[in-house]
Amino acid sequence: MRDSILAASKPTQRNLGLDFIKILATIAVIGLHTVATKYSRVNLLVYCFCGCAMPLFFMTNGYLTLTKQKIDYLYSIQKIRNILILTLFWNILSILFDFIKTKNLTQAPTDILGPYIQRGVMYQFWFLGTLIIIYLALPLLKYIFDRPKLKWPLFGLLFAACTALTVLSVIRHAPVVKPVPQPFRLWTWLFYYFLGGILKQYQYKITKFLNFKLHTLLLVIFTAGYMLFQDRFFADAIKNRLAEYTYDSLAIMLWVTALFLFFLRLDFDAKPKLAGIVTWLTPLMFGCYIVHVPYVTLLVFKLTKLWNINYGLLNFGSVLLISLLAVFILRKIKFVSRFLSY
């Protein structure tokens, strides 16, 4: 695929590269929740690759918001309201799910409020809980982002904090961020949020400087570097293989940056069939993020246990396909469809 001049030249055209990144991030987050690292080397490598999910989510949000011409508290309130309406619907519904499973309602408060801090049935909503925190500060973040004398020192400070925590984890042979719940690791999420906005600002210059072949080569090198770093060094150094503890490392920062820009520069219009697939899948992805935990994952895990099948990649593929089918059907129900996007 040839390079394309992106949003700057076609402001009204949908950015299919960004849509593809959202699809990739959603598939990857499903992989994080279904591919166990203990089964095989292949499973482990797939799990490592899925580590791009959360950085890409936050980079995408920063890419879309920080470069807007104006952001005020009304915008932030509207975004927070939309998140709360969507999540509370599913959180309340999860009470019924929990009751069917446990036959009691003692976990109801946790099911309603817990997901924002990675607790309860819909624990994957912690990402949206973190976005609420970011949106509360978004006008201030936008003010900082628009002023280079403030933006670069803050970005450098966030990078330094991430690097220091990675080095400290290696020295102590344990992830030092473990006591901090994921929603509150704001140094990490703000780094990727700002990174997304910065890449939007310099996207054209970077892709003009890097020709397609060189960019592809760098992406291969950074992908291999991250895989080797995580698989051969970092996981053994901190005695933990969970992807959440790699997000502060330089290896994944370089990888997701190259990955993010690579897909943004692809000309999807040159491949109508691929563009059609991306266009069809994009509206389904956020719904998959919602329903894959716990509804689909629990179903698949129950079936694989019943059939005595214990293979992570099969679980991954089954959860993804059933989630897509479920969301496709749910989008046909007018009342429910409004709670499959925000």
Ranges of each domain in the chain: 16-337
With residue 163 as reference, give the H or E element that holds it: helix 148-172
Instruction: Taking the CA atoms of 188, 24, 34 and 239 in sequence, report the sign of the dihedral they define.
Output: negative
The interaxial angle of helices 212-228 and 250-265, nearest 10 deg, is 150
CA 37 to chain centre: 19
What's the whole-model pTM score? 0.92
Confidence (pLDDT) at 308: 65
Q: How far apart are CA 11 and CA 15, in angstroms?
A: 9
Q: Which parts of the chain sit beneath pLDDT 70? A: 1-13, 38-39, 306-310
Confidence (pLDDT) at 106: 83
Tell me how crowded residue 15 is: count the other CB atoms within 10 A of its CB.
17
Q: Which long-range contacts (CB under 8 A, 24 or more apart) does 310-316 make?
A: 310/39, 311/39, 312/34, 312/35, 312/36, 312/39, 312/40, 312/43, 312/46, 312/47, 313/35, 313/42, 313/43, 313/46, 315/34, 315/35, 315/36, 316/30, 316/31, 316/34, 316/35, 316/46
Radius of gyration of the chain (CA): 20
Q: Which long-range contacts (CB under 8 A, 24 or more apart) does 111-118 make?
A: 112/88, 115/87, 115/91, 116/87, 116/183, 117/181, 117/183, 117/184, 118/181, 118/182, 118/183
